[in-house]
Chains A and B, each alone.
Chain A
Amino acid sequence: MQMRFEHFAITSMMGTQDAPPRTNGALCFGHDWERTAFGVALGLSRAGYFEWEDFRQRLIAAISCWENNHTFDDPSWNYYECWLAALEATIVEAGIATGAELAAALPPPAGGALKRSSAPSTS
């Protein structure tokens, strides 16, 4: 029997820095939008819009970016903010939607959650 995509996608993340939060053997979502971001990413990759590994590399980059700009114990850390930023970047890169489409359809990102290269300079 073929391994289910969902199974493959999550086990590929276990034991790595991009592994999703979990509790008592199950995925752990703090808010409904985190569940949405999770499901959209897996659903798109399962349908073949992008390779799961490509999304993972974006996620790892988003997490590294956050870590480089925050202290290790910063309590404002939110795994799924990095996930959402990685998902948006992957969607644009895969050509599913353009950056302009996202900019038009989406409200501005949570302020300063991730340091974006496109963010206006504060200096």
Chain B
Amino acid sequence: MNNRFEYPGDREQKSAARAKALEALLIEKGVITSSTVDTVLNFFDSKMGPFNGAKIVARAWVDPAFKERLVADTPGAIAELDLPEGMAGAEGEHMRAVANGPGVHNLIICTLCSCYPWPVLGLPPYWYKDPTFRSRAAREPRAVLKEFGLNIPNTVEVKVWDSSAQIRWFVVPERPAGTEGLSEAELERLVTPEAMMGVAVAKAA
């Protein structure tokens, strides 16, 4: 028996028609409303994600006193910002920021499975939970960072922070050179999830 299938060119349209008909049926039955899908997605699009972390980092870049407070008392500093309600949530309470500087580069890893600070960073990339990445990043962080295209000079200390159920770390990357004239909103766009994990640095656009 041949288990390979033929793939008709209209496969995409068929799935689309089926998903839309399913939604319509459930609306007709009064199980969901026409706004159910948008309500769910709005949560991911606007309430929790890397855009929150970007706002925190951009504020730290323009306000050195805020950056100090952010590192000393991360939840307290985040609460100063006008971020969506619940962002600090069940995970945010334990969030801790570590700041990169001239002599130090920080990298976050996680050896448990549910401790990624995604209210701030968004959803973790697939490789983040890979046991190989985690163990190698703990053992030889410079080599791993090099594979990400990040050459950290030997004069710079690399610190690895292992998130746990108690503390979820995120990195405040250094403000890129040549961004002195940018507004806070413009700076936000330079902050990537990778930079807040420490596997990349923030770059001027």
> Is the A/B pair a real complex?
yes
Which residues of A approach B to under 8 Å, CB–CB? 1-4, 6-7, 10-12, 14-15, 19, 22, 24-27, 31-40, 42-44, 46-47, 49, 69-70, 76, 78, 80-81, 84, 87-88, 91, 96-97, 101-102, 105-113, 115, 122-123
What are the residues of chain B within 8 A of A43 when measuring CB–CB? 32, 36-37, 39-40
B26 touches A97 (CB 8 A): yes
Closest 3 CB pairs of A and B: A25-B122, A39-B37, A112-B5
Residues of B near A14 (CB, < 8 A) are 113-114, 116, 123-124, 129
| 29 interchain pairs, CB-CB under 8 A | A1-B86, A1-B89, A1-B90, A4-B89, A7-B89, A10-B123, A19-B126, A24-B50, A25-B122, A26-B44, A26-B50, A26-B123, A31-B15, A33-B15, A33-B20, A35-B37, A36-B19, A36-B20, A36-B23, A38-B37, A38-B40, A38-B41, A39-B41, A69-B5, A84-B19, A88-B22, A105-B22, A105-B24, A106-B25
Residues of B within 8 A of A (CB): 1-8, 11-12, 14-26, 29, 31-32, 36-41, 43-45, 47-50, 86, 88-91, 113-114, 116, 118-119, 121-126, 129, 192-193
Q: Are A44 and B15 in contact (CB under 8 A)?
A: no
State the CA gap A78–B176 with chains docked (Å): 38
Q: Say whether B21 contacts A106, CB under 8 Å.
A: yes
Which label, helix, strand, loop or mixed, suits the secondary structure of the B interface? helix
How far apart sit A50 and B121, CA to CA, in the bound complex (Å)? Answer: 29
Distance between Cα atoms of A11 and B112 in the complex (Å): 12
Check A113–B23 contact: CB distance below 8 A: no
Which of chain A's residues have a CB closer than 8 A to the CB of B44? Answer: 6, 10, 26-27
| Residue in A27, A47, A69, A87 whose CB lies within 8 Å of B22 | A87
